């Protein structure tokens, strides 16, 4: 009830923002990308292909906004900015001469009317997996919220292989006339057989992101050679499957913070590991608690060493969050002696890098590009990349 009242307030702000900036989305073609995982990569892929085709495009993602080639910060822990910020970015895109804007759009943004008034030509749904159930309560409600983007778009593009497809196709009744699908199976409109491509990205999950981007660009009328060229030259966004060290052992930073993202990234890197896979992670405080044991279980299926640590605990006790994660590990075949609990994330990363031997693979997930940490008293500076590089420096200084 209280959230509904807040949403009415957000709606009023969104209306004011559109009026203030003159409904700028009406002056360019907007693509909205939503989903639990893959939003940033898919948004960035579409943006890259449009630019490869010689088109003036802009984008807004959780990593930041790029308007006419100029980068802008979107704020701490933000994927879709506030209504005024969204409309301001769209207006900047229009003023810069952009003809296209690709906008990463969260379920919270859709539910809270942050993108209200934005005219979407295409809405894309990458997937709907276990996340944000503290807010949406049920999976069905979560899908229903994501479906709002599809309903407000002229063309709806969805993952036919995803669990959400059955609900979208039946309960929420997305019009078949505007529905287009992608997936690995031949009955999807866009699939690897119908549209073969080459990519440097790892993992099956990225094949889905690519198929989503292909679907969008085909719908926009982009030539196939430009689509393939854009995909082939695409580099993953900052903080996604990013290898920062690759000599005697490997260090990767990734934003994975959901059960599905854990499964996808760990499954993808496991075959690359010659020694031990060392996983450093935590889970956000005051957020979806139910996902914690699932994340622990998934990590224990792939990892040889697990180091539990802080990840925006907010006002929750870090030990409580760790216990929640551990509850999914304790009944697995994982060797408990290979589990460490280090609340200080800097020390956790230093421990992981210090213990790494030749052929080992250290992966830190959850923080990635984010520039702050929340311990319940506001945001404090945090830089995952600087932390890892400092840990590497300390390792080799001592040796």
The tens digit of pLDDT for each residue in 238-267 reads 999 999 999 999 999 999 999 999 999 999
- What is the spatial distance between Cα 325 and Cα 283, in angstroms, rounded to a whole number? 8
Domain locations in the chain as residue ranges? 2-232, 242-398
Q: Which of 52-61, 160-169, 192-201 has the lowest mean pLDDT?
A: 160-169
Q: What is the spatial distance between Cα 156 and Cα 179, in angstroms, rounded to a whole number?
A: 5
Task: Give the mean model confidence (pLDDT) for residues 102-122.
Answer: 94
Residue 7 CB-density burial (10 A; 0-12 exposed, 13-18 middle, 19+ buried): middle
The CATH label, of 3.60.90.10, 3.90.190.20, 3.40.1580.10, 3.40.50.300, for the domain at 242-398 is: 3.90.190.20
Nearest-CA neighbor of 32 among 219, 283, 199? 219
The residue assigned the tokens 């759009």 is 105
C-alpha 349, offset from chain centre: 22
pLDDT of 232 > 90? The answer is yes
Q: Write down the pTM of the prediction.
A: 0.92
| Cα distances (angstroms) measured from residue 40 to each of 52, 105, 137, 257, 376 | 18, 10, 24, 14, 27
DSSP conformation letters of 219-252: HTT--HHHHHHHHHT--PPTTSSEEEEESSSEEE
Is residue 111's pLDDT more than 70? yes
Q: pLDDT > 70: what percent of the chain?
A: 97
- The hierarchical CATH code for the domain 2-232 is 3.40.1190.10
> What's the longest Cα–Cα distance across the chain?
64
Tell me the pLDDT tens digit for each residue of 155-191. Answer: 999 999 999 998 887 776 777 779 999 999 999 999 9
Which segment of 169-178, 230-239, 264-273, 384-393 scores lowest on mean pLDDT?
169-178
Average pLDDT score over residue span 188-211? 97
pLDDT tens digit string along 363-373? 999 999 999 99
**Kind of pairing between the strands at 29-34 and 120-125:** parallel
Query: How many angstroms separate the CA atoms of 129 and 110, rounded?
Result: 17
């Amino acid at each position: 009830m209280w959230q509904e009242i807040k949403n009415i307030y957000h709606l009023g702000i969104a209306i004011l923002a559109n009026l203030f900036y003159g409904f700028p989305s009406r002056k360019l073609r907007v693509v909205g990308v939503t989903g639990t995982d893959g939003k940033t990569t898919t948004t960035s892929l579409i943006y890259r292909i449009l630019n490869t085709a010689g088109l003036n495009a802009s984008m807004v993602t959780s990593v930041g906004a790029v308007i006419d080639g100029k980068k802008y910060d979107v704020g701490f822990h933000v994927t879709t900015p506030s209504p005024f910020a969204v409309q301001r970015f769209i207006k900047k895109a229009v003023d810069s001469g952009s003809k296209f804007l690709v906008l990463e759009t969260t379920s919270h943004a859709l539910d809270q009317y942050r993108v209200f008034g934005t005219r979407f030509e295409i809405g894309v749904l990458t997937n709907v997996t276990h996340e944000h159930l503290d807010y949406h309560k049920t999976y069905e409600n979560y899908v229903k919220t994501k479906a709002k983007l599809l309903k407000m778009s002229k063309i709806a593009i969805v993952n036919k292989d995803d669990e959400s497809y059955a609900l979208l196709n039946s309960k929420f009744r997305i019009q078949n006339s505007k529905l287009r699908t992608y997936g690995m199976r031949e009955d999807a409109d866009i699939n690897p057989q119908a549209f073969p491509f080459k990519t440097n990205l790892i993992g099956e999950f990225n094949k889905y992101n690519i198929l989503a981007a292909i679907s969008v660009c085909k719908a926009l009328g982009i030539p196939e050679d430009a689509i393939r060229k854009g995909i082939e030259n695409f580099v993953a966004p900052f903080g996604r499957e990013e290898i920062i060290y690759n000599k005697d052992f490997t260090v990767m930073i990734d934003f994975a913070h959901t059960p599905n993202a854990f499964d996808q990234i760990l499954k993808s890197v496991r075959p690359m590991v010659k020694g031990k896979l060392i996983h450093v992670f935590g889970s956000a405080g005051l957020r979806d608690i139910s996902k914690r044991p699932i994340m622990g279980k998934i990590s224990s299926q792939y990892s040889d060493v697990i180091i539990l640590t802080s990840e925006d605990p907010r006002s929750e006790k870090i030990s409580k969050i760790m216990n929640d994660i551990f509850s999914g590990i304790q009944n697995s075949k994982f060797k408990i002696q290979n589990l460490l609990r280090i609340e200080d994330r800097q020390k956790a990363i230093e421990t992981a890098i210090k213990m790494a031997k030749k052929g080992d693979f250290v992966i830190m997930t959850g923080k990635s590009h984010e520039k702050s940490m929340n311990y319940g008293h506001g945001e404090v500076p945090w830089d995952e990349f600087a932390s890892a590089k400092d840990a590497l420096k300390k390792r080799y200084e001592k040796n």
